[in-house]
Amino acid sequence: MKILLIHQYFKEADVVGGARFNEMTKVWNNLGHDITVLAGDLDGQSKEKKEEYKNNFIVKKDQDGIVVWRCNVSESYNKNFSGRLWGYFSFVFSSSYAGIFKLKGNFDVILVTSPPLFVGITAYLISLFKKIPIVFEVRDLWPESAIDTGVLKNKHIIKLAFWFEKFIYKKADLINVLTPAFEKIIIEEKKIKKDKILFIPNAADFDMADSFLNEFNIEKFKEEHGLTNKFIFTYIGAHGVANDLQQILEVAARVENEKIVFLLIGNGMKKNELIESSKNMELVNVVFKDAMPKVEALKFVAASDVGISVLKKVDAFKTIYSNKTFDYMSCKKPILLAIDGVSRELVEKAQCGIYVEPENINSMTKGVEYLANLNTIDLAKMGNNGYDYAKVNFDRKKLALKYIDEIKAKIYV
């Protein structure tokens, strides 16, 4: 198949976190499918554009054998909400231009993943011009999550977003959802027919983790990074409004066990604020590291004792699976989970960690201390439980194959 993927946050090869489609496209490419990507030139976690993108509207690149068109995103993206909104629409303009005027040849399907919701505009315009069916993927319910977190407040933009959500659901040939909760809401509340829905969830990349896990010298790695004799809680991913990592700093200020260290890996619009807050709180048990290639980030996870998944306490996040949770599972690490809803159900069913109430610092602190006081056998059992459960139900390679098969069956019957 010839697949056009539209993904504003498609990762560069040297950026960590949220690499769902970087991994899936590799699988598809290895199977002989032809993949082209329209992506942003400013990643959701990056502080600024790379030099090669500055003063360029679009840049064509080869990334791991896949053609990626890096399209302009306004550098106002990480400044404030209005800047972020302009970042969304600047990508719509640049990616629509690239898709309509620069891409040559025919495609079998457009696969567009949201949020941001407005990438659907690009998909619809290209579909209209080139007569290509659309698969619209819902990674997060938007605008609901933006409203619940307080990011989206303008009633006119909210009205526009809900109108466009309804429009793109209608125009899409298929809608893929990442959690059972999304499927329920889209069918019951959005009134979309069940036969239009796919369910290909987030997943773990076992090939990447297994490639180094068995031969990885954890003690040597910890010594190299000044983490010897530490009990390490690691978070990998975005440092944004929704992640609310200030919670981790509040917990760090309360824990009394001097061996406990919190390692926060990634970038985002709140990172500088978090670093300043950590300094003001005089925290000596919090370590910040910038985004890095995922395989390097997974080494830090493998050297850790527990992985952290955390979000703000809002109803919208009860519907999501946290992709970092699967990364921790693939590295056989127990999970401290501060996200209620389907993510909690997943961790409890897999028996691979503990749930603590988000934004409840007492609950989170007790959870940290409980895990830090477990013996190595119980910790290893949690980690192995998660690995085994994800291997059966959330293997990236298996789900990538299923995704292609479902598209073929439902669009080309």
* Helical segments of 42-154, H only: 81-97, 119-130, 144-148
43 or 252: which leads in pLDDT: 252
Q: What is the pLDDT of residue 15?
A: 60
Read off the pLDDT of residues 207-220 as tens digits, 9 standing for 90 and up: 777 777 777 899 99
Read off the pLDDT of residues 364-408 as tens digits, 9 standing for 90 and up: 999 999 999 999 999 999 999 999 999 999 998 899 999 999 999
Q: What is the pLDDT of residue 32?
A: 93
Average pLDDT over residues 174-183: 94
331 vs 212: CA distance, rounded Å: 10
41 vs 53: CA distance, rounded Å: 7
Beta partners for residue 355, in sequence order: 337
Q: How far apart, in Å, do the first and last CA atoms of the chain sit?
A: 14
Average pLDDT over residues 244-262: 96
Lowest mean per-residue pLDDT among 6-15, 226-235, 366-375: 6-15
2-203+395-411 and 206-393 share one CATH topology? Answer: yes
Lowest mean per-residue pLDDT among 43-57, 124-138, 229-243, 309-323: 43-57
> Which residue, 212, 247, 217, is CA-closest to 233?
247
Burial 331-350 (b: 16+ CB within 10 A, else e): bbbbbbbbbbbbbbbbbeeb
Q: What is the pLDDT of residue 44?
A: 59
Read off the pLDDT of residues 288-326 as tens digits, 9 standing for 90 and up: 999 888 888 889 999 999 999 999 998 889 999 988 999
> Which residue, 216, 236, 395, is CA-closest to 306?
236
SS3 content of the chain, % helix, strand, coil (to 5): 45, 15, 35
229 vs 153: CA distance, rounded Å: 46
**pLDDT beyond 90 at 72:** yes
Read off the pLDDT of residues 119-168 as tens digits, 9 standing for 90 and up: 999 999 999 999 999 999 999 888 888 787 777 788 888 899 899 999 99
Per-domain boundaries in the chain: 2-203+395-411, 206-393
- Fold adopted by 2-203+395-411: Rossmann fold (3.40.50)
The answer to whether the bond into 115 is cis (omega within 30° of 0) is yes
Asked if residue 233 lies in contact with residue 262, where contact means CB atoms within 8 angstroms, the answer is yes
Displacement of CA 59 from its chain's centroid (Å): 24
Q: What is the pLDDT of residue 45?
A: 57
Q: 206-393 belongs to which homologous superfamily? A: Glycogen Phosphorylase B; (3.40.50.2000)
- CA–CA distances in Å: residue 223 to residues 85, 220, 229, 324: 43, 5, 9, 25
Q: What is the pLDDT of residue 374?
A: 96
In sequence order, what DSSP letters do the residues of 17-32 get, joined into one string? S--HHHHHHHHHHHTT
Q: What is the pLDDT of residue 76?
A: 77
**pLDDT beyond 80 at 48:** no
Two tokens, residue 80: 């404030």
> Which residue, 316, 312, 306, is CA-closest to 367?
306
Q: What is the pLDDT of residue 86?
A: 83
366 vs 350: CA distance, rounded Å: 21
Beta partners for residue 395, in sequence order: 204
Question: Mean pLDDT score of the chain, rounded to an integer?
Answer: 91
